[in-house]
Amino acid sequence: MALVIYTGESGLWEHIPWWVIVISALAISSGTAVGGWRVIRTVGLRVTALQPVHGFAAQASAATVIEVASLLGIPVSTTHCASSAVMGVGATRRLSAVRWGVAGNIIAAWILTFPICGGLGYLFAWLLKVIF
């Protein structure tokens, strides 16, 4: 979303300063290194019990949504796509196969992500503006 706001269009990589790309890559990789294992453990083990075929179905559906959204220039979260696909796969067995308490916590985190990240984005942009 920041890319679309920054450039006015999606996919225009030549207009993005190199330092923005580097800082973004460092932030994303740091977040994955620090907390990625917890996300994988929660989605892969705590939401529902997955068999290999269920994991494949979840990955295929998440990949399809991500690819179509990318082609349309719509920013989507890969984590949101994958975890909601796992919930959907679990629900195909029976609705009670999904631990809805855990799923509810994930959904609450999704809802809180937008205002928190928006506020932090504002704060970091303001700090960079003051510094530079």
| Average pLDDT over every residue of 83-105 | 94
| Average pLDDT over every residue of 34-58 | 88
Whole-prediction pTM value?
0.69
| Average pLDDT over every residue of 104-126 | 94
Q: Give burial (CB, 10 Å; 0-12/13-18/19+) of 48.
A: buried
- Reported as a pLDDT band with limits 50, 70 and 90, residue 12 is low
Q: What is the pLDDT of residue 21?
A: 87
In the chain, domain spans? 2-131
Would the pLDDT of 67 be above 70? yes
